[in-house]
Amino acid sequence: MSADKGDHHTIPLSLLLKRELASEKTERPEISTGEANQSKKGEDFTLLKSECQRVLGDGVATYSVFGIFDGHNGSAAAIYTKENLLNNVLKAIPTDLNRDEWIAVLPRALVAGFVKTDKDFQEQVQSSGTTVTFVIVEGSVITVASVGDSRCILESAEGGLYYLSADHRLECSEEERERVTASGGEVGRLNAGGGAQIGPLRCWPGGLCLSRSIGDLDVGEFIVPVPYVKQVKLSSAGGRMIIASDGVWDAMSAEAALVCCRGLPPDTAAAQIVKEAVQFKGLRDDTTCIVVDILPPEKTHPHVPHAKRTGKRVLKSMFRRKSSGSPPQVDVGLLQADVLEEMLEEGSAFLSERLDTKYPLCNLFKLFSCAVCQKQMKPGEGISVHSGTSNFNKSRPWDGPFLCLSCHEKREAMEGK
């Protein structure tokens, strides 16, 4: 009997996890990154984490996180968001999910993480604010959440150009202008006297030219932290992402940025983009760029797309929810060559439309935790996120997700109620 027992040696959990991770690495794309910055105000900050690990319900997985935080009216909001946003997002994801479930709930967790970060920062009574473009790469799936005007673009190996973030400048969106005015804000240009108006459209009070950000306590609740989120699946051939602050995008187009760094490794590519942006407009603002190459495991040289096609598939549906009933109007010829898959696109500024019940509650948030701040609540203590909306059934007040009183009041203020 003792001999039989001796034949069955136990394997340490740490060794099993290492084997799982090693097996996973052979199949996952390689991530290569570079960043560059020229500072004017010292309010741009970056986050690059290319080897984050987590234990899922079905094993070990790795993911990468990249972010740009372009502060204004000081750097406090940008620094706070850089240090706390990822943790707040991860807190909103149950720990027992498998990979597919983790990816499915990530967009809603990003929304909750952005709102919680904003809520916590405003409790510090600081007046600064920040744009955020936050990217999570899990295998070939890229999920981007953004508020403000720090843009993220992707060039696939097939040569397709994709916009993965939204521009929340009031100048760029009639829908956002209407939302701000409906919530009690005013939209207009700076009055230079004598009836003359100059500069970009801004919201008043405060004079901010963005409709979404984290922070900005003194501007008004109509400036919301609810991000635009886009999730795509990249083909096995890979591609190149460029994430940059407005110091870059005010000086060059997406196409120009890709062309000027083509064939260069990521660190050199980022430096070249910043250099050309500053040469074109001068150093008027902090100018920051992150370049991320997502490559097949066997490919280690810089991303160079295939020969250019006569057109590009450019996706710029910034504020409209993707409809399963109406396919996008794109050139059929381009669809045959470009195999990037759109998984999700959501841009609504209203929490009741972002923390919905499409997925079972157990897969989204703990039953009696606030969907934003994760505060534990007693049964019956939470307020349904659908309360006060046309979707709310008063006879079923238990339909979640739920908000604590503090986050419910924050939501009401953001939506001008």
Q: Please state the pTM of the whole predicted model.
A: 0.77
Contacts of residue 341, defined as CB under 8 A and 6 or more positions apart, other chains included, come to 232, 233
Compute the average pLDDT of residues 174-197: 86
| Cα distance between residue 110 and residue 304, in whole Å | 31
Region of poorest pLDDT, from 37-41, 45-49, 134-138, 374-378: 374-378
Region of poorest pLDDT, from 204-213, 243-252, 273-282, 358-367: 358-367
pLDDT tens digits, 214-248: 999 888 788 999 999 999 999 888 999 999 999 99
What's residue 349's pLDDT?
85
What's residue 158's pLDDT?
83
What's residue 400's pLDDT?
63
3-state secondary structure of 208: strand
Which pLDDT band holds residue 37 (cuts at 50, 70, 90)? very high
Considering the chain, what percentage of its residues have pLDDT values greater than 90?
A: 47
Residue 283 · residue 44 · CB < 8 Å: no
Cα 266 from chain centroid?
A: 21
Cα 175 from chain centroid?
A: 20
What's residue 405's pLDDT?
82
Which pLDDT band holds residue 254 (cuts at 50, 70, 90)? very high
What's residue 246's pLDDT?
94
What's residue 128's pLDDT?
94
What's residue 199's pLDDT?
84
What's residue 406's pLDDT?
81
CATH level 2 (architecture), domain 29-168+210-349: 4-Layer Sandwich (3.60)
Give the mean pLDDT of the chain. Answer: 80
Region of poorest pLDDT, from 8-22, 264-278, 360-374: 8-22
Q: Is the pLDDT of residue 303 over 70?
A: no
Kindly tell me the number of DSSP H helices and DSSP E strands found in the chain.
12, 16
Q: Is the pLDDT of residue 274 over 90?
A: yes
Domain extents in the chain: 29-168+210-349, 357-417
Provide the β-strand partners of residue 64: 137
Residue with tokens 């479930």, as numbered in its chain: 101
Cα 384 from chain centroid?
A: 25
Choose from 138-147, 202-211, 307-316 the range with maximum mean pLDDT: 138-147
DSSP state string for 65-111: EEEEEEEESSSHHHHHHHHHHHHHHHHTS-TT--HHHHHHHHHHHHH
Q: Is the pLDDT of residue 320 over 50?
A: no
What's residue 378's pLDDT?
61
| Cα distance between residue 411 and residue 349, in whole Å | 10
Higher pLDDT, 319 or 406: 406
What's residue 310's pLDDT?
35
Higher pLDDT, 337 or 391: 391
Which helix (H) or strand (E) segment holds residue 280: the answer is: helix 266-281
Which pLDDT band holds residue 296 (cuts at 50, 70, 90)? confident
pLDDT tens digits, 74-131: 999 999 999 999 999 999 988 888 888 899 999 999 999 999 999 999 998 888 999 9
Which pLDDT band holds residue 315 (cuts at 50, 70, 90)? very low
| Cα distance between residue 222 and residue 202, in whole Å | 12
What's residue 360's pLDDT?
41
